[in-house]
Structure 1
Amino acid sequence: MSHVSSHSPHRQSPLRTVQVLGGGSAVSSAHVRSLASGLVARGVRVTVCAPGETDGVYDFTGVGAQHIHVPRSSDPASVATLRNACADADLVHAHGLHAGFRATLALGGRRTPLVVTWHTRSYAEGARAHLLRLLERRVAKAAAVVLGTSSELVDRARSRGARDARLAAVALPALRRNDADEDTDRPRSKARAELGATDRPLLMAVGSLDRHRGYDTLLDAAREWRGLDPAPLLVIVGEGPLRGVLQRRIEDEELPVRLVGRRDDVSELIAAADLALLPGGPEARSVLAQEALHARVPLVAAAVGSVPELVGDAAELVPCGDSAALAGAVVRLLAHPDLCEELKDRGARQAATWPTEDETVAQVLSVYDELTQVRPLT
């Protein structure tokens, strides 16, 4: 695939981009690594500004990008570090609202084009909701282009005053998935044995343990299906502020649920499950939903946000917050393998419609080209 910018009429040197990571969620960090890899392969110079530990996990330097340690903070020292990193950039691309805000501060009045990708919807209540709106407005207006990973986020950016908001093509980067490996039963049975689900159905949920993920609804549903024989085991992967509260509920109500904390083998765990469950969540493009459909694991999901747009008819969708509907869907699918097979086939078809990593890089590059070529010579 040719890359226009590196030989555009008014630039002799390669396009220089700075990628700014904010909260460093797994979704945005994996996306930036994938993007950096694809851009470097096309002759673009890439600098990733992110906390040092993020590079340790995602190895931006390993794909040919330069990494500069910038703390996850908007204090003057961090902003100054970011400003220096952006000094010779042709374009700055921030990932997430807070990264967008820091990039806005760092660029000040410079004419360097700013692209901001909104990966997730932020939540706040009371006075913080007002501050969040102000932050979204500031970032949306500062960006030359806002890329939203769902129609909902694109609409939100427009409502906050974005001059140009577009739907982003965002691929799920390959996470240790080996589609050519036909001997999948051995790792699957090993994962199930480790989790304690060799002779019972295994249900999998993934996401940080916070209030917007629908875990109360999930535990209410687990109370309803624990009467099955054998009772399905629900495994929740993730860490967060609700861990103590959820663990107490699990113990007090004797629910067949295990909290296993953060894991680096999420793809393998999802592939080992009988069903994947998504009771809620702020991500525009849920990693769990994408992993489940790629791995041919039937998905039961709350019809909330952009989930219906992402999965189409390839998941069992239930009303958000309705534990009876969630439990009913789980019980029905476990009792009817034919319905599960149908969902697996639909899932494979739906996953085939999602953008590839190559298409994601191509779309981003076309935005970069557009913004850097229309800029007048200085």
Structure 2
Amino acid sequence: MTPVSSHPPHGQSPLRTVQVLGGGNAGSSAHVRSLAAGLVARGVKVTVCAPVEAECTYDFTGTGADHVHVPRSSDPVSVAALRAACADADLVHAHGLHASFRAALALSGRRVRTPLVVTWHDRAHAEGARAHLLRALERRVMRAATVVLGTTSQLVDGARQTGARDARLGPVALPGRTARPAGPEDPDRLRPKLRAELGAVERPLLVAVGSLEEHRGYDVLLDAAHVWRRLDPAPLVVVAGEGPLRGELQRRIEREALPVLLAGRRDDVPDLLAAADLALLPARRETGRSVLAQEALHACVPLVAADVGGIPELVGDAAELVPAGDAAALADSVVRLLADSDGRDRLRDRGVRQAATWPTEDETVAQVLSVYDELTQPTPLL
């Protein structure tokens, strides 16, 4: 891909952009930092509007961007702060539903229309009255956005159905991945120290990563663990993540004597995956680009994942896909792969090829910048 440069001609002011982030999940926050770094390097002036907690964690100013504290709230004070930060912007780019709604409010009523780009990383789920509220917010945002970038085809289709005038596929790179994977290293590199720490020295290690919430499908994982505990040796399932279901899941693990360890939040997920024999993604829904799936394939770890949402599009034939919510299918696939070293090797090889099709951070920045240029460059006269 030909590099895109936004360095302005001599005497012309640089493009001024504002990146709007709400509380932000880890994926969208890391994407904003990556995007800010790439844009600044290309001569774009970047202001990141985000809660101060996000700045402390992701150091947006360390990329050369400015940071403006805007609380994760849609109250008049927060909207006014965002409106002031966007006053001189050539373009505003919001990430996630709530940040996009605040950006739409902040830009409303202006005499000169400022382009609003929205990246839809995932689709929020709720039930009852909250679901109606979320759908109303989505409609408001889609109508206000100049361009919506959905990270999966499913999100692009959803944006169009919800009223977006211009919705496009805009995949985001896995943060920290600036180059193509070179290929699998030694497939038996199992990081003995980490495996010993976890208690998986002479037994298979299965790893799942993600918040302990209902949509992650960990109840299905525990159902499948009933089958795995009958194996000799029984594999150890390690779940890295925290969330509201920890107590419920832990009680079930103890009551049913399941070989599952809730490891809490980990800052060494790539190492954890590299030590694993298999990675597991039992999600009930996953509309965005799964970070775990990307990390697993980059780490050359065979992946067993639910055939749901954006996962099939993301992994292609490089993962073993099972029906969402089907514990028996999940259990059977894991048992079969643990007994089939050639099958695991095939998935590793396919994973390298599939990961090579994903955009790098540089390519993601170039794609976004091409959208910015399209929306901000004057239309030539015929």
TM-score (norm 2): 0.93
* Counterparts of residues 67-78 of structure 1 (less than 5 Å): 67-78=67-78
Aligned pair partner of 1:188 in 180, 187, 191: 191
Taking the aligned partners of 1:369 and 1:247, their CA distance within structure 2 comes to 51
Residues paired across the two proteins, number: 374
Aligned position for 1:82: 82
Aligned pair partner of 1:340 in 344, 348, 354: 344
Amino acid at match of 2:234: A
1:37-69 Cα deviation digits (max 9, x unpaired): 110000001111111121222111111111111
Q: How far 1:23 moved relative to its partner?
A: 3.2
Taking the aligned partners of 1:62 and 1:175, their CA distance within structure 2 comes to 18
* SS state at 1:338 partner: helix
* Counterparts of residues 93-132 of structure 1 (less than 5 Å): 93-110=93-110, 111-132=113-134
Aligned position for 2:330: 326
Q: Which portions of structure 1, spanning 4 or more consecutive aligned residues, are displaced by more than 6 angstroms?
A: 175-187
Contact 2:97 2:141 in 1 (8 A): yes
Aligned position for 1:364: 368
Aligned pair partner of 1:137 in 121, 139, 145: 139
Taking the aligned partners of 1:277 and 1:2, their CA distance within structure 2 comes to 37
* Counterparts of residues 159-198 of structure 1 (less than 5 Å): 159-174=161-176, 188-198=191-201
2:34 counterpart of 1:34: yes
Taking the aligned partners of 1:141 and 1:213, their CA distance within structure 2 comes to 30
* SS state at 2:207 partner: strand
Distance change (3 Å), C-alpha of 1:313 and 1:178: closer
Contact 1:23 1:96 in 2 (8 A): no
* Counterparts of residues 231-242 of structure 1 (less than 5 Å): 231-242=234-245
Taking the aligned partners of 1:117 and 1:276, their CA distance within structure 2 comes to 28
Taking the aligned partners of 1:32 and 1:15, their CA distance within structure 2 comes to 17
Gaps of 5+ in 1: none
Aligned pair partner of 1:249 in 238, 249, 252: 252
Taking the aligned partners of 1:315 and 1:2, their CA distance within structure 2 comes to 33
Aligned position for 1:274: 277
Q: How far 1:129 moved relative to its partner?
A: 1.7
Taking the aligned partners of 1:176 and 1:167, their CA distance within structure 2 comes to 20
Taking the aligned partners of 1:28 and 1:120, their CA distance within structure 2 comes to 9
* Counterparts of residues 199-218 of structure 1 (less than 5 Å): 199-218=202-221
RMSD, aligned α-carbons: 2.2
Contact 2:49 2:68 in 1 (8 A): yes
Aligned position for 1:66: 66
* SS state at 2:305 partner: strand
Contact 1:5 1:373 in 2 (8 A): no
TM-score (norm 1): 0.94
Amino acid at match of 2:102: R
Taking the aligned partners of 1:85 and 1:187, their CA distance within structure 2 comes to 48
Amino acid at match of 1:347: G
* SS state at 1:6 partner: coil
Amino acid at match of 1:247: Q
Q: How far 1:12 moved relative to its partner?
A: 1.6
More deviation in 173-182 or 144-153?
173-182
Contact 2:23 2:54 in 1 (8 A): no
Aligned position for 1:309: 313
Distance change (3 Å), C-alpha of 1:85 and 1:187: farther
Amino acid at match of 1:314: A
Taking the aligned partners of 1:48 and 1:185, their CA distance within structure 2 comes to 42
Taking the aligned partners of 2:327 and 2:207, their CA distance within structure 1 comes to 16
Q: How far 1:182 moved relative to its partner?
A: 7.3
Q: How far 1:187 moved relative to its partner?
A: 8.1
Q: How far 1:177 moved relative to its partner?
A: 11
Contact 1:122 1:282 in 2 (8 A): no
Contact 2:6 2:44 in 1 (8 A): no
Q: Percent identity?
A: 75
Q: How far 1:198 moved relative to its partner?
A: 1.4
Taking the aligned partners of 2:266 and 2:343, their CA distance within structure 1 comes to 30
Contact 2:142 2:162 in 1 (8 A): yes
